Structure 1
Amino acid sequence: MSTPESRAASIVIVRHGETDWNIGRRIQGRTDIPLNERGRSQAGEIAELLHDAGPWRRVIASPLSRAAETARIISDRLELPQAEIADDVIERDFGSAEGMLVTDASARWPGLDVPDAEALAALAERGASAFGRILREAPGSIVVAHGALIRSALTALSGTEAPRILNGEAWLISPAVARDAPAAHEIPFPVDETRNGPRIAIRRLGTPAEQHAF
């Protein structure tokens, strides 16, 4: 079982709340779409969950407004300092696919391997490196980022395919201190671009109840 001390050495990764493009199943990427009312409600809901799961020291967010507003709601509810902006947790640049329906883009580019988008391998490496940096340098952080980035990073870190990340969903990344009781996945953690560092555990912490249909 995790303790306040072990949580203070952990970070939690949160996907931003819902937007109208999430409802419409449009690819957002780096297009700056704001939260809708349900998205703001989801941010408040996940803040309540995190209140009971802390302690937390700071909030870090992608520069896109849907992440930054989610972070602001969380930091206000938890009485934490204003969110710090980190460019390396911004969403994937989907290139020509941005604004398209997911179904249309997937049909045109299977696996959403869009020629002028950020490469999937580069996305995974960027996300995994960003989460690793924050865990090493700023434990106790809440990091508000984006679905494609989070999923790719967790897949890269764990070596197994992560599920679709829901709006407002939170994932805990912790040092694995008990080898006989790992949480969900226990994996080698990259330090200085190697796999020889301390081991970590990744698990889903919680998800707001109200989600869009898709």
Structure 2
Amino acid sequence: MLLALIRHGQTDWNLALRMQGRADIPLNATGRAQARAAASGIAALAPWNLVVSSTLGRARETAAILAAELGIELGGAYDELVEEEFGDAEGMLVAEVRHRWPVRDTIPNAEPAAEVGPRGLRGLERIRADHPGRSVLAVAHGTLIRRTLAEITGHDAADYPKLDNCSASLIEADASGWTVHTAGGVPLAELLGDAVA
């Protein structure tokens, strides 16, 4: 099974560098344009069968735009693909969060970082079970995607770069499990170098 994890399009909070997490902030006009523009590049990666997403509106709308642009099915929404819960930091400027809580796992009421990657991987397995043998686009969120890729490869999420809005990370599943081919469009070997071996 071939799957591409797509980060949603831009929101006003992305633009303002605010922590979004589970806050259901909609796409802005730029985000909608990004989704439309990304479709051709995503189409060039593989012939896709359908698009699924997280349950949050910004991911769902990005998925709907991609489905319309690519002429493919808009599938379901998966709770496992929602963004990391940032607790008391949600809505705050990223710079302020880093100043107040230099260690991310000390943010009050936040989801433990170590739980995010395994949750994302459970979502991938649900998608795989729901759509066997199909090529699927899954629209999700930057931190969720990075932590899920790290869970698959065994690397630290910090090894993965910040993902651009509407960037694609290509992964594949076979009988032995999941393999990461690219992160945000960059080949894994190029991104992680010797750490991949």
Stretch moving more, 197-206 or 55-64:
197-206
Q: Work out whether residues 14 and 144 of structure 1, in 8 Å CA contact, stay in contact via their aligned partners in 2.
A: yes
Q: Does residue 142 of structure 2 align to residue 147 of structure 1?
A: yes
Who is 1:61 aligned against?
A: 53
Distance 1:104 1:157, change over 3 A: same
Q: Per-residue displacement from partner, 1:115-145 (whole Å, max 9, x unpaired)?
A: 3111101112111222244345434110000
Percent sequence identity is: 39
Alignment partners' CA distance in 2, 1:60 and 1:124: 18
Who is 1:174 aligned against?
A: 172
Who is 1:72 aligned against?
A: 64
Q: Work out whether residues 2 and 170 of structure 2, in 8 Å CA contact, stay in contact via their aligned partners in 1.
A: yes
1:125 to 118, 121, 124: 118
Who is 2:180 aligned against?
A: 201
> What TM-score comes out, normalization by structure 1 length?
0.77
Alignment partners' CA distance in 2, 1:108 and 1:117: 14
Alignment partners' CA distance in 2, 1:73 and 1:168: 11
The root-mean-square deviation of aligned C-alpha atoms, in Å, is 1.9
Structure 2 portions without partners, runs of 5+: 187-197
Who is 1:27 aligned against?
A: 19
Who is 1:184 aligned against?
A: none
Greater helix content: 2
1:156 to 139, 151, 154: 151
Structure 1 portions without partners, runs of 5+: 1-8, 177-190, 192-196, 208-214
Alignment partners' CA distance in 2, 1:107 and 1:73: 37
Give the number of equivalent residue pairs.
180
1:134 to 121, 127, 131: 127
Q: Work out whether residues 173 and 200 of structure 1, in 8 Å CA contact, stay in contact via their aligned partners in 2.
A: yes
> What TM-score comes out, normalization by structure 2 length?
0.84
